[in-house]
C-alpha cells in the first residue's frame, strides 16, 4: 500500500481498522490499494474508475450510466447466502447456515489471491444519519468500482464517522470480490458464488458476483448484521420503507414491509406523500413512549419494471432527466435505457444483460430473453426526488404511527386490514405469505412464508424475532397500529384494483390512526366501511366505487384463510421457542373463522358483518 493511502487509514486513529485492512490486503493480494475518504476527489475517482473498467457505460443523459450483470447473476442468491453458525448454536430451520469453521476455511481459501491484478477499494460509510443514536459505521473492501459507486449514492459518507469512533471496534465490515471475469467483465464463476455472514464478527464475505443485491455490502448484507444487533439490543431493524402521509394539514409517518416486487417502493412513492426511505428502517423507542425510525440509506435501489409516467410520475421524471444515476440490466439503444412497463413500445434490438440482443433471442435455458430483465434496477439519491421528506437526515428520526405489511396474494386477502391489537398485528406479520416475485432466484409464482417480509434476511431464530417484536410494542406507551395490504387480488384473471388505488387504502389507514373512520370487525381484523371508501374514491379520484366492487374485494374467504393457517401452523410446529402468545392468536383466529363459517358459509360478504 502506498504511503499516502496508509496515512488516510492512520488518520482514523483506529488500530482495528488497520488490522482488518491489512488482513485482507495480504490475503486478496491486489495490485494496488485506494483508500477513499469523503472528499470530492475520491468520489469522482470512483465514478471515473467504474467507466474505465467498463463496469459502467455512459448513457445519453448527463450523469446516467448503465451496468450489466451476468445473465446468471440477476437476483439475490438465497441458496448460497448462509449464516456462519458456531458449534452448539441453533438457528431456525428456514435460515440457511454453514458450520462457521468450515465456512471460514472455504471463504478464506477462495479469497487468497482473488484480487491479483486488480485494485482494492476501501471506503467508509454510515448506516443511518450521522451524529445519531441510530447510526452504525460500515467499512467496505471491494475490487468493484461499480459496488463502491453504488454505495456512494445509496449511503451517507462515513470517513469522519469512523474518526468519531475514537478507536472503537463498533462497526460492520464487508469483503467483496468479483472473482474471475469473462469477456464482458462479468463474474465468471457464479456457480462458486458465496455470501457468508459472520454475526459474531459483524462482517460479511461475498465473492464471485456483481448483482448489487449480493455484492453491495451495505444493502441486504448489512441488514442481516443489523437484525442480529437489534435483536441483542432491544430495537428493531426491519425490511421497511419509511414515509410521511400528508392529510388534512398533518403529517403521519408509516413504515411498511413488503417482499420484493410487491409494491413496496410504489407505496412509498404514492403521489402527494413524502419519502424518507424505500427499503430498510431502524426503529427505536423514544423517550415519550412512541416509536421513532430512520432510513438506513440515503438512496434507492429500485425496480425499474412498470415505472411509467402514469403510475410512478415522480420516479419516472427522475429516471428521464439528468442527474447521477445508475441503471442496471435494462435494454440500451443509442444511449437510451428501456425497461419493461415503461409505457412505450420497446425496440426489437439493442444491448442488454445477455449482450447484443434481438427479439426472439434464446437464453441458456432455451427460453426467449426479454428486452430488459424483470429485476432491472436504478440507483439514485432520494434527495433527487421531488417528494423527498424534509426529515430524511434528521438524527432524531421521525415518530412512527403505523406499520404496514403487504404481500402478493391473488385469491384470498382483502386490499387492506387493520389488526385487532399490537400482538395480533405481530401474529399477522409473522404469518405473512406471498407469491414469489422475480427479485429472487426461485420459482416465480410459488407461495412462500415470509414473516415480516424479512425471511430472506433473518439471521436470528424466528422465536426470538417474534418475541422481540411483541416486547417492542409492549415497551411503548402508544405502539404503532399494524395494517396488512394486498394489491394483487384478482377476479377472472384480472386485478380487482387499479395500481393507483393504493392511495385510498393508505389514506384510510391514516384516518384510522386519527380516529376519523370506523371499521367492521371481522375474524381476521378490521376492514373499511363501504361509505368511507366510496367517499375517498370520489374525493381523491372522482371515481365511483360500487358496492359490488367493495363486496368482492373485502369478502372474507374463510376456507382459503383456514388453509393458510394450516400451512403456518405446520411451519411453526418445527420452530423452537415460539412465544405462546403467537399460538394463542393462531388458535383464536381459527376459532373465530370456524364460528363465522358455520354462521355465514365459506365466503362472507362484508355487508353481513356490519
Give φ, ψ of 313 to 5 degrees. Answer: -60, -35
Phi-psi label, residue 343: left if phi above 0, alpha if psi -120 to 50, beta otherwise: left
Q: Are strands 299-303 and 377-381 parallel, antiparallel or unpaired?
A: antiparallel
The contacts found for 568-577 with CB under 8 angstroms, 24 or more apart, are: 568/431, 568/433, 568/449, 571/94, 571/449, 572/462, 574/93, 575/92, 575/93, 575/461, 575/462, 575/463, 576/90, 576/92, 576/461, 576/463, 577/461, 577/463, 577/464, 577/467
Beta-carbon contacts of residue 44 (< 8 Å; ≥ 6 apart): none
Residues 536 and 368: their CA atoms lie apart, in Å, by 43
Which of 277, 223, 233 lies closest to 255 in space, CA to CA?
Answer: 277
Residues 168 and 201: their CA atoms lie apart, in Å, by 14
Which of 597, 588, 418, 421 lies closest to 520 in space, CA to CA?
Answer: 418
Give Dmax over CA atoms of the chain in angstroms: 80
Given a contact cutoff of 8 angstroms between Cβ atoms, the answer to whether 354 and 373 are in contact is: no
Instruction: Reply yes or no on whether 28 is catalytic.
Output: no
Sheet holding 57-58, edge to edge: 57-58, 64-67, 325-328, 377-381, 299-303
Given a contact cutoff of 8 angstroms between Cβ atoms, the answer to whether 103 and 82 are in contact is: yes
Beta-carbon contacts of residue 188 (< 8 Å; ≥ 6 apart): 179, 180, 181, 182, 208
- C-beta neighbour count of 32 within 10 angstroms: 13
Residues 325 and 47: their CA atoms lie apart, in Å, by 11
Residues 104 and 118: their CA atoms lie apart, in Å, by 23
DSSP track, 326-390:
EEES-EEETTEEE-TTSSSPPPSEEEETTEEEETT-B-TTSSBPPSS-TT-EEEEEGGGSTTB-T
Q: Is 444 helix (H, G, I), strand (E, B) or coil?
A: coil
Residues 193 and 77: their CA atoms lie apart, in Å, by 8
Residues 460 and 199: their CA atoms lie apart, in Å, by 10
Q: Is 41 helix (H, G, I), strand (E, B) or coil?
A: helix
Residues classed as catalytic = 262
Amino acid at each position: 500500500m502506498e504511503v499516502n493511502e496508509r496515512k488516510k487509514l492512520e488518520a482514523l486513529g483506529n488500530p482495528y481498522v488497520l488490522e482488518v485492512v491489512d488482513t485482507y490486503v495480504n490475503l486478496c493480494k491486489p495490485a494496488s490499494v485506494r483508500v477513499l475518504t469523503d472528499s470530492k476527489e475520491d468520489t469522482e475517482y470512483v465514478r471515473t474508475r467504474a467507466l474505465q473498467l467498463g463496469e459502467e457505460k455512459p448513457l445519453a443523459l448527463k450523469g446516467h450510466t448503465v451496468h450489466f450483470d451476468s445473465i446468471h447473476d440477476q437476483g439475490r442468491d438465497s441458496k448460497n447466502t448462509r449464516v456462519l453458525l458456531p458449534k452448539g448454536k441453533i438457528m431456525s430451520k428456514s435460515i440457511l447456515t454453514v458450520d462457521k469453521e468450515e465456512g471460514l476455511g472455504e471463504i478464506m481459501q477462495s479469497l487468497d489471491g482473488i484480487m491479483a491484478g486488480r485494485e482494492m477499494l476501501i471506503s467508509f460509510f454510515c448506516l443511518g444519519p450521522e451524529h445519531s443514536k441510530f447510526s452504525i459505521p460500515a467499512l467496505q473492501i471491494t475490487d468493484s468500482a461499480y459496488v463502491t459507486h453504488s454505495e456512494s449514492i445509496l449511503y451517507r459518507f462515513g470517513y469522519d464517522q469512523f474518526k468519531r469512533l475514537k478507536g472503537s471496534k463498533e462497526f460492520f465490515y464487508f469483503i467483496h470480490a468479483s472473482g474471475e471475469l469473462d469477456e464482458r467483465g462479468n463474474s465468471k464463476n457464479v456457480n462458486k458464488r458465496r455470501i457468508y455472514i459472520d454475526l459474531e464478527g459483524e462482517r460479511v464475505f461475498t465473492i464471485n458476483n456483481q448483482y448489487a443485491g449480493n455484492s453491495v455490502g451495505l444493502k441486504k448484507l448489512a441488514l442481516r448484521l443489523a437484525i442480529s444487533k437489534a435483536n441483542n439490543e432491544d430495537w428493531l431493524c426491519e425490511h421497511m420503507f419509511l414515509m410521511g402521509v400528508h392529510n388534512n394539514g398533518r403529517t403521519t409517518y408509516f413504515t411498511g414491509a413488503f417482499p420484493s416486487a410487491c409494491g413496496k417502493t410504489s407505496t412509498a412513492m404514492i403521489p402527494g406523500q413524502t419519502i424518507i426511505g424505500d427499503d430498510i428502517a431502524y426503529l427505536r423507542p423514544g423517550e415519550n413512549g412512541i416509536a421513532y425510525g430512520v432510513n438506513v440509506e440515503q438512496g434507492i435501489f429500485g425496480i425499474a419494471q412498470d415505472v411509467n409516467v402514469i403510475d410512478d410520475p415522480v420516479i419516472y421524471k427522475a429516471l428521464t432527466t439528468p442527474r447521477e444515476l445508475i441503471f442496471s440490466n435494462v435494454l440500451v439503444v443509442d444511449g437510451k435505457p428501456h425497461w419493461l412497463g415503461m409505457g412505450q413500445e420497446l425496440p426489437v434490438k439493442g444491448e442488454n444483460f445477455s449482450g447484443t440482443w434481438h427479439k426472439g433471442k434464446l437464453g441458456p435455458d432455451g427460453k426467449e430473453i426479454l428486452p430488459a430483465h424483470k429485476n432491472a434496477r436504478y440507483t439514485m439519491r432520494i434527495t433527487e426526488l421531488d417528494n423527498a421528506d424534509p426529515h430524511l437526515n434528521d438524527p432524531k428520526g421521525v415518530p412512527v404511527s403505523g406499520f404496514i405489511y403487504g404481500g402478493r396474494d391473488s385469491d384470498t386477502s382483502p386490499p387492506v386490514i387493520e389488526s385487532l391489537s399490537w400482538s395480533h398485528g405481530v401474529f399477522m406479520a409473522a404469518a405473512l405469505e406471498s407469491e414469489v416475485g422475480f427479485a429472487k432466484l426461485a420459482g416465480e409464482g410459488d407461495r412462500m412464508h415470509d414473516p415480516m417480509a424479512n425471511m430472506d434476511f433473518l439471521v436470528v431464530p424466528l422465536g426470538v424475532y417474534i418475541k422481540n417484536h411483541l416486547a417492542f410494542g409492549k415497551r411503548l406507551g402508544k405502539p404503532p397500529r399494524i395494517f396488512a395490504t394486498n394489491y394483487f387480488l384478482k377476479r377472472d384473471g384480472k386485478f380487482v384494483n387499479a395500481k393507483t388505488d393504493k392511495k385510498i387504502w393508505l389514506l384510510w389507514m391514516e384516518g384510522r390512526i386519527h380516529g376519523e373512520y370506523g371499521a367492521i370487525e371481522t375474524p381476521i381484523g378490521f376492514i373499511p366501511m363501504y361509505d368511507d371508501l366510496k367517499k375517498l374514491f370520489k374525493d381523491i379520484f372522482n371515481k365511483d366505487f360500487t358496492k359490488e366492487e367493495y363486496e368482492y374485494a373485502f369478502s372474507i374467504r374463510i376456507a382459503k384463510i383456514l388453509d393458510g393457517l394450516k400451512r403456518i401452523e405446520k411451519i411453526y410446529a418445527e420452530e423452537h421457542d415460539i412465544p405462546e402468545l403467537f399460538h394463542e392468536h393462531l388458535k383464536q383466529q381459527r376459532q373465530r373463522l370456524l364460528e363465522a363459517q358455520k354462521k355465514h358459509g365459506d365466503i362472507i360478504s362484508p355487508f353481513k358483518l356490519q
